[in-house]
Structure 1
Amino acid sequence: MKKYLLLTAMVLSVLVGCELASRQQTSTDASAAAVFGAGCVQVAFKPTLPMDVDVLNQSCTNAFAWQTFVAMTWPADPETPGKPDTTATLEDWGMPGNLTPMVFGTFKSSEETFMDHAPDPWGSNHEGIMNEAADDTDCNRKLFAFNKFNGGEDVVQEVLQAAGGKVPWLTDQNGNLIWYEEKINEVEFDYIYSNRLYDPAAQYAKAVADKGIWLPNGSMELKASWCEIPEDQYERMKYRYKIIQACVPDTAYIQAGKVVVTDFVEKKLGLVGLHIIHKTPSAPQMIWATFEHVDLAPVGTPCEADGRKWLLYNPADCEVKPNQHPDVDDPIFNPIQITKVNMATPDMDAQRINEYLQSQLAQEDPNNVFQYYRMVGSQWPSSAVADADNSMTPPLSDGGKTPFVLTNVSMESYAQGASCLTCHVFSQTAPFEDKPPLGADYSFLLGKAKPQQEL
């Protein structure tokens, strides 16, 4: 009899435990659904790249954007360019001090794609990119665009990415320049390569035939901003920033209104901002998402540090007017005071999903550095226009861009009242003879095509 009662008690205990677990799981699922939105993908900390939004609305594009961010920042596969390492864990993804390149880091850069000759095939430099050796002198990972200038010196064009009409480089509070890179995924690169869109002549002919350049679904472009990690701050910053190693110029100066850089050395760089552009079947005007580190700059001009060490803002200089273009005669390594003007509108959806995912990361992996990144917002076409119905010449349709404002404080530092589509509707083909420019599917990169030289 005692055995029977004991067995009955054990069975009841198991059943109650299962019911409680079921209720807890149901509650968790309901909570997640409330955060991500009805019918939207539930973001998972796995390298699963979504191909389209489930429903074209703000909640679903926010969830789509966050899942894409996870997939793009996942550790790269050591053998296959553009693919995630599926053996990597959540802890590997956000491990402090893990210098493994991320998936998007193995994409083709714009300068590798648009040269005066045909680009090398996809993945041609993968081994070099994956080389993390501190004494690597080959500089396989250059994170910004170069053009030849003044007798062969290298000129960084992407340092001007901070926008505006002067020479708006961006210098952080450590006195180091913020550097930029542009990356293209395999789908888009293959389309450019197979149609010779790196050649202005071939590009113009394709645009005439197709009434504009129209990229295939699945095309992606990413733009990243990076800060140099000072050696004496590495131990602190490695617990808050995703850090890689790459070659950056050790010398920079202004000449003839341009930023000239030289003397490349390998340094540790921390990810501070990431734009992600993704063309999908339901969003021919693209889904635009932007992420930034939480320690970049405050909203407003607080005079107290409040325990936060801002990368782009110094509370001791709170009386200095922020977000001012540097003049061409200004010393290039003088820190520039930056504040965040606004978040995306509506920003509550972004705030809700950020707080939920940051909390989940802190619980599941307390040391994960990606808990210190947030989505500013995502932009999507509320009245999408098919490629065939779009304009052949710029400006292209903005497809009812929603929300109206979306900027990244590390990239549009001096133009924070605009948005992605506000500018990218003016994308156009590269200059060719005296022909009028044609539409280039919201990609400014296509305008970098160069006349081809005979080898």
Structure 2
Amino acid sequence: MSLISISCESGKKDKKLNSRIGFSKELDDYGCGAFCDPPSVGYQLTDDNCLHSDQNSMNCFAWKNFLALNWIASDQRGIPDTTALASDYGMPGDYKPTVWESYLSIDDVFTAQQPAQWSLKSKSGYIKYINEINKFTDINVNIPKPKLRAMLGGNVDEIMQAKGAWLTDQSGNIVWYEIRMNNIESDFVRNNKLYNSENLNAFAAKNQGVWLPMESIEIKAAWRVIPENQLESLKDFYKISMAMVPEIKGFDKNNQPIYGKYTQKYLGLVGLHIIRKTSQSPQFTWMTFEHINNAPTEGQVDPSVNYCFYNPKSKDKPNQSPVPGKDSLNKPVQVVRIANNAITPEIQQLNKQIQGMIRASNPKSVWQYYQLVNVQWPENPVQDKDNKNTPPLRDGGIKPKNIANVTMETYIQDKQCMDCHKNASTVATKYPTDYSFIFLKVKPK
């Protein structure tokens, strides 16, 4: 059941549901393990010093990352504002960027030009640019379809949230996506000039692959448009940021969107992937979060919830990708979480506890309306030096196998992260790129 019933069009609360949620302050109740510090509302990004021995400790690890990375950013890129108070964490109407939003975007990293200076002091505040309507654009464009089919099975055009496919919420607004990386990873790419195809290929050949430094973090986020006439009613329930968003004028011969004029819009966060490479997780820890009212698990529709990506009156088959040139951008997509990816009872309980902790810190915090979906981690990690120099890479005994975010893997929920990412490689060579597809942004000359 949802923490609070929130309409996609309004911010009305169901007080009965809210009163049912309990919160225990006993540290043992988190189930994080004897050697693991419990989550807390703070800006300190947790060290990877807890034994990766079970799923519960990894669930806590995920929440600790989420809480710190969503702290307000300082005037230095990638650094939290240590003067901010926990009592202001997630204050509605605060559109200042979070720590992860201050990271360089994938477009900023893969350009020969120097990225724009980070500034929070402009007259209008920080406004990001965003221009992706799907998560997998570069995968689909740059990997041959036979290889994609081998990776994912089936008809690529139908199951990939790519090649012009998109996701539209029940208000008729398209979802926008962005990818960012922390300073450690972006400095690694730019210092080695891996945005240049010749440098990238030479580097990969010399090192038998492109192996990212420890503590690299990549973020993928999904945002829904918040119409201005709904801003006042929704700002209490979503992390909202301002962004310059383009109009979509149509699609080219490759079914890629043709963008037009940019206008400022308010965007509400609906999905967040966090992947982090550590000594205990060289295959990365894959953490995924969603807004609580995105979509129901199949067979578990809560009639009191007005879902953002599900209409109980719709007769449409769920999780069907729209087709460019046939389907309207404004036609809502019917979405459900497949039963195999249902949030486990253990994670549901942890979510309630963390949401309660956030609420105890700031009763108005928008972050109480987000939930952990799942965490994937290597039970038998393989260090870089022991891995293969051609894809597919070893997966390190990655577990669990059922993990998907309904806003980012809408149409491929039966797949899991490593199905794709173990095959990541440079476009022009056979060398792997450490489970990351970001280097597909580098176009061969």
- Measured against the shorter chain, the TM-score band is 0.7 to 0.9
- Kindly tell me: are residues 356 and 321 of structure 1, through their superposed partners in 2, closer, same or farther at Cα, counting changes over 3 Å? same
**Structure 1 match to 2:221:** 224
Q: Secondary structure at the match of 2:31?
A: helix
CA distance in structure 2 between the aligned counterparts of 1:449 and 1:398, rounded to whole angstroms = 25
2:298 maps to what in 1? 300
Q: Distance in 1 between matches of 2:369 and 2:349?
A: 15
Q: Deviations over 1:390-423 (max 9, x none)?
A: 1111111111111012110000000111111221
Counterpart code for 1:109 = S
Aligned pair 1:390/2:412, yes or no?
Answer: no
Provide the alpha-carbon RMSD of the alignment: 2.5
Which of residues 241, 244, 248 is equivalent to 1:247? 244
1:3 matched residue in structure 2: none
User: Do structure 1's residue 141 and structure 2's residue 135 form an aligned pair?
Assistant: no
**Does the 8 A contact of 1:163 with 1:411 survive in 2?**
no
- Comparing 342-351 with 236-245, greater Cα deviation is found at 342-351
Runs of 4 or more consecutive aligned structure 1 residues displaced over 6 Å after TM superposition: 158-162
Alpha-carbon shift at residue 42 of structure 1 (Å): 0.7
Q: Which residue of 2 aligns with 1:59?
A: 56
What amino acid is aligned across from residue 190 of structure 1 in structure 2? D
Quote the offset at 1:345 in angstroms.
7.5
Structure 1 residues 69 and 119: CA distance shift in structure 2, 3 A: farther
Which segments of 5 or more consecutive residues in structure 2 lack a partner in the other structure?
Answer: 1-23, 142-158
Find the aligned partners of 1:43 and 1:243 in 2 and give their Cα distance.
23
2:114 equivalent in structure 1: 120
Matching of residue 277 in structure 1 with residue 270 in structure 2 = no
Cα separation, partners in 2 of 1:367 and 1:350, compared to 1, 3 Å: same
Question: What SS does the corresponding residue of 1:421 show, helix, strand or coil?
Answer: helix
| Displacement after TM superposition at 1:450 (Å) | 3.3
Deviation of the 1:132 alpha carbon = 7.1
Report the identity percentage: 36
Deviation of 1:194 after TM superposition, in Å, equals: 1.5
Whether 2:365 is the aligned partner of 1:368: answer yes
Residue 388 of structure 1: how far off its partner (Å):
0.8
Q: Deviations over 1:116-164 (max 9, x none)?
A: xx2415xx4311x664728x9xxx5112359xxxxxxxxx948999934
Cα offset, 1:258, TM superposition = 2.1
Distance in 1 (CA, whole Å) between partners of 2:431 and 2:417 is 19
Counterpart CA distance in 2 for 1:92 and 1:343 is: 37
Partner in structure 2 of residue 23 of structure 1 = none
1:324-339 matched pairs, under 5 angstroms: 324-328=320-324, 329-339=326-336
Answer whether contact 1:167 1:325 (CA < 8 A) is retained.
Answer: no
Matched, 1:109 2:112: no
Separation of aligned partners in 2, 1:199 and 1:107 = 21
**What one-letter code is carried by the residue in structure 1 that aligns with 2:328?**
P
Match of 1:8 in 2: none
Match in the other structure for 2:439 = 446
Q: In the aligned structure 1, how far is the partner of 2:40 from the partner of 2:260?
A: 42
Choose between structure 1 and 2 for higher RCO, CA contacts under 8 A separated by at least 6 residues.
2
Cα 1:339–1:252 shift into 2, 3 Å: farther
Structure 1 residue 84 displacement after superposition: 0.8
- Aligned mates of 1:242, 1:271 — CA distance in 2: 5
TM-score normalised by structure 2 residue count: 0.84
In the TM superposition, what are the counterparts of 1:22-421 in structure 2 within 5 Å? 28-32=25-29, 34-56=30-52, 57-77=54-74, 79-115=75-111, 118-120=112-114, 124-127=116-119, 131=122, 133=124, 141-145=128-132, 157=137, 163-164=160-161, 167-256=164-253, 257-300=255-298, 306-317=303-314, 319-328=315-324, 329-342=326-339, 344=341, 347-421=344-418
Cα distance in structure 2, aligned partners of 1:104 and 1:130: 18
2:426 matched residue in structure 1: 429
Q: Secondary structure at the match of 1:59?
A: helix
| 1-structure distance, mates of 2:382, 2:91 | 42
Q: Are the counterparts in 1 of residues 138 and 441 from structure 2 also a CA contact under 8 Å?
A: no
Residues 179, 308 of structure 1: alpha-carbon distance in 2 compared, 3 angstrom cutoff: same
Residues in 2 aligned to 1:380 and 1:231: alpha-carbon distance in whole angstroms: 40
Question: Deviations along 1:409-438, whole A, 9 cap, x unmatched?
Answer: 00000011111122110110132xxxx321
